[in-house]
Chain A
Amino acid sequence: MTNDANDDTQPVDIAKWSETAPRYSEIKRMISVFVGRPLPVIGLVIIVLLILVAIFAPLLAPDPPNQMEIINKLQQPSSEHWLGTDSLGRDTLSRIIFGSRTSLIIGISVTAISSIIGIVLGLLAAYFGGAIYHIIMRFMDALMAFPMLLLALLVASLLGAGMLNIIIALGIGMIAAPCRLMCGVVMSVKQNDYVLSARAMGMSNLRIMFQEILPNAFPPLLVLMTIGIGAVILAEAGLSFLGIGITPPTATWGGMVNDGYKFIMTNPVLAISPGVAIMLVVFGFNMLGDGLRDALDPKLRGVI
């Protein structure tokens, strides 16, 4: 051992030392990449607005969502009803505002359920390999062979309509993507020397999987989950539009498009306004996901 390295008696001038080697913050770099471009920020603003609207829906909405004024049905937009009223005389704006709750709850819970199951299955498959890998991944292949909407339709018609059943139906349909992604990432992460090192230090499989591998495999999943929320909201709207989604009278954007499209010639606002809401929110999540990907991908460092 050389003297300077082992000599503990000599005080180290910490102030000077940290001055020559400034701490480099990865988080700050990510934030600057993320904020540096307009689209992800727009996406973030849309999503923050959506969350605020969903939380403060009762304060923001001019009327209760299910309050019917049959006399005022199918009105054009006016100062009293900004986006008009539907065939039962319910205020469209209020229903869109309350519909944001449904979309957000379903989007987040479905993504959470499918991601957790998908991540665990993908991790198990890639870590243990062999028979476990084949069983899990062939099951995922089978799941992917069905179009997601069709699968959700099948499960929803088996279980019946309703919020919980829709969450289960979409949740099952969405497992394959995170599972496959996780499996691929873990296969490459587990080759790293620190995994071998951890095994050589006597770490248990569980600890290696969840502490050593999972955090290293997580960034791409974060991106997938963000974009996934948009996809789930779209799928839920699709199911509600087909009439097997959330049971009426709960306000959902898909259901509102379904109610409104019969009057598209006379009252276009009725179908178009929830459609625009769906579009904006899905756009927002996709842009956020894109921005996250660019910020988290080490290969793009310095390029953007």
Chain B
Amino acid sequence: MGLATSLLVILMLLTWLATLEQVQHGLHMTLEKYFHYSKPWVFPDAAVLFPSLAGKDKYLPPLPGGYWVCALLVVNLTLGGLIRIRKGVKTIGVILAHFGIIFMIVAGGVAQLKEERGVMMLAEDAGAGFPNVADYAQSLTETTIEITEIKDGKTAGDVHFVKDAYYRDLEGEKRRVVRLPELPFDLELQGYLQNARPMAAASMAPPNGEPVVDGWFLLSQKANKETEMDTPGLHARVLGRDGSKGEVFLLSSHARSPFTVTADGRTFVLSFDKRIWPVPFQVKLVDARSEYHPNTSRPKLFESDIVRIEDGRESNVFIEMNEPMRYGGMTFYQRTMMNGVTGADREASVSGFEVVRNPSDKWPEYSIYLSGFGLCLHFLLKLGNFLFRGKSNPVAQA
């Protein structure tokens, strides 16, 4: 019980500090710091309590990392709240509640490990900068290097990907060779920048001696508070099978200009962008509607009519805020609306959906039914007990 209490108090402290710290460092950075499994300890920024210390790298005493506190809480709840607890009518509510909470924390863990999240932008009319039909989603934060072979001006063969796990940690001078056995070359990656944009060396000198390629270099910028706004950059070079080393080139998700590699008489194009992942069916946007409360700029509704196309079968689906489409293990949410090129005043013609693949999507809902029922049962029994005992054993008035 002592451990449970301590863990709950620590978790509350972590939540409180993370709430305050996200004001300064943004949500993504704060979550990585407080609740990521790679962080067994957290050093809260002292500026959350003493604003004058902002940016001075002063820290409060460390606390255990949130991920591990939750993990320990699950173990503690399982052992103490499910296994060792006295079983009987009096404790059944508590046991149910404990089980529900464990289930919920597990759902959170599964989501953190397994969840994939992207965005699908569709236009009512193709040609407005976005497709009308798509079967893929683009990740919000993850990038990827995409390698495609070009034959006779057309793409040929499989597309090869290098996931960001291979280069996200390559800060400063760190470099890594990525072997590509199916291709006639390997890649050496280095100098990953979370938020960068290409800058002409003619307009400013590289501030930290960054490599200049064809008159351009990658200028590192402060990471955005919303990580999806960041445009990562990377330095790479081609390693030939004959041991030859190519020149360093720049990959930027800001510019998105591809780099062409010729090796073994074959031509490949390397591009760097937010990761694209497939959706097992097609989605076609029929109508996007945005409405505002009359004579105001306050949004009233955002909704889209789409057609889901799977193996040639078409289903009409309506998606609006608070009413996503759940299908095939994926959930499509109404995320944004834009006025396309052809859109009249305020009439949306581009609709953006957030696409989430999360196996534990509905688990929290089930768990709260269980916990809520368990807690209500337990406390109602207690209340009944209190009321009846109170009646049978009246105490003197003050």
A, B in one complex: no
Please report A residues at the B interface, Cβ cutoff 8 Å: none
